[in-house]
Amino acid sequence: MARRNCLRPSLLTGLNAGTSFAFRPPMLSIQFLGAAQTVTGSCFLVENDSQRVLVDCGLVQGHTELTARNRLPFAFDPTLLDAVILTHAHLDHTGLVPRLMTEGFRGRILTTGITKELLPVLWEDAVRIQEASLYSESDVNCAIAHCEGHRYGKIIELNRSCRVRFSDAGHILGSAIVELWLGGRKIVFSGDLGHRGKPIMRDPAIIETADTLVLESTYGDRNHKALPDTITELGRVIRETHEAGGTAVLPVYAIGRSQDILYVIYQLTFSGVLDKPRVFLDSPMAIRAADVYARHIEAFDEEAANLIRKPPKNPCAPRVTFTETVAASRSIARIRRAIVLAGSGMCEGGRVQDHLARCLPDPDCSVIVTGYQAEGTLGRRLVDGVQRLTIHGKVIDVRAKVHTINGLSAHADQGGLLEWVGAFHAPRPRTFLVHGEPEKMAALASALRRCHGIDTAMPKFGDRVVL
């Protein structure tokens, strides 16, 4: 990592007019530039007098007043960043990285090998469909060219005083907990921490030491339903929908959730709960992500890997169709008693809106929400029980049944977060809660104090903390 001659006045102390200057000891700080008292737009600037490292650079999703941040100037000069470290391939953690290239960043982008394979899937879709005005295809290509994929457990030296290591976060394939050593201190970023026992994924790795911990808190106020009960509930809802002659629509995230749901549907057919259901994966991005997953069975948990390597006979196996074209997507409307997995996961765009516009007025159909819905999103309004909403400029009456099934969440619940933090050795790390709504953060903060004697901070957007 190159040392730049970019001393800032705050690092200098004037002695007397006309005399020399004395340097203060290097000051290490974190600035919280995203996911601060909200669940989206993860972005953290770590710096001292000579080095600047950005952990995540995510797209803000949800409320319009929040998404306006995506177009604001960065709170730092991207050309002065020494490196960008990415925890995993979701837009709310990586979606603004190509915009860094627009602004002149040309440093190293460090992530895991699997995440490096998933990022082109994510960014190329974003530039075509979602946020085309934020950056160009050439910016995406430039970002991909600067990405480095590293294996879990490897220590990556940026220079003699800065090192990075990735450990499995158990959230989606390739997701990572980041250990960052800088200026003689160790900072751990949980990233999005996975839920223990989650389908396909291994459990999150245990980290035992840190000076500072930046911890997600998406589900800091609750515990998820047990996975077997969740799978039973999902099977019951789909079966009842099909018996009524309706279609089950599941808004899914293209990377992670769509693969999890397909796996669970297979389990439901193997147990006989569902019999040869018609399943449509209606997301070109999810289809490309499925190809990456298929290449990395070695990263699956033992149960999923064995099932794929030696699949048992399954006379009730689902009939799965990948619909890549718009015409194929529209043809689903002619089929009853289907299961449709479509993006986007928060219903803010993508093909799921077409399926919702068709199915929401039909009381025989169901919408099954299995992932977190940020405030201000269409998905959140459905979960909150809205009776009428607008899709593609048309007012839609909500007559379909809307089910929320949280046990398949890719995020750790309160119990999982407490267990993971409890593995840190004394003295406990100084802890900052991020990636959560304020009331959920407050609940987790109370639980951490009660169970582990840890006092936490909940920084606001833009706060800078000296370590």
User: Which helix H or strand E contains 403, and what residues bound it?
Assistant: strand 401-404
- Do residues 374 and 61 touch, judged by C-beta distance below 8 A? yes
73 phi/psi in degrees, rounded to 5: -60, 145
- 389 in Cβ contact with 367 (< 8 Å): no
Instruction: Give 10-residue mean pLDDT values along the chain (467 residues).
Output: 32 30 64 95 95 96 79 95 97 96 97 98 84 84 98 94 96 98 96 94 97 97 94 97 98 93 96 97 94 95 92 94 96 96 91 96 97 88 95 96 92 97 96 96 98 97 96
pLDDT of the residue at 159: 86
**Which pLDDT does position 183 carry in this prediction?**
87
What gap in Å lies between CA 181 and CA 436, rounded to an integer?
25
Cβ-based neighbours of 364, under 8 Å, separated by 6 or more: 241, 244, 245, 246, 400
Q: Quick one: pLDDT at residue 4?
A: 34
The DSSP output letter for 247 is -
Helices (H) and strands (E) in the chain — how many of each?
Answer: 14, 24
CA separation, residue 57 to residues 13, 43, 51, 145, 336 (Å): 33, 5, 17, 17, 41
- Predicted model pTM: 0.90
Residue type, position 8, single letter: R
Residue 396, token pair as written in the block: 């839609």
**For residues 400-434, b (16+ Cβ closer than 10 Å) or e, as one string?**
bbbbebbbbbbbbbbbbbbebbeebeeebbbbbbb
State the Cα–Cα distance between residues 389 and 16, nearest whole angstrom. Answer: 67
Spatial separation of the C-alpha atoms in residues 73 and 99, rounded to whole Å: 10
Which uninterrupted H or E stretch holds 339? strand 338-342
pLDDT of amino acid 26: 63
**Do residues 405 and 376 touch, judged by C-beta distance below 8 A?**
no
pLDDT at position 372, please? 85
| DSSP type of residue 224 | P
In this structure, the chain runs to a length of 467
Nearest to 295 by CA among 150, 145, 112, 118: 118
CA dist., res. 382 & res. 84, Å (int): 36
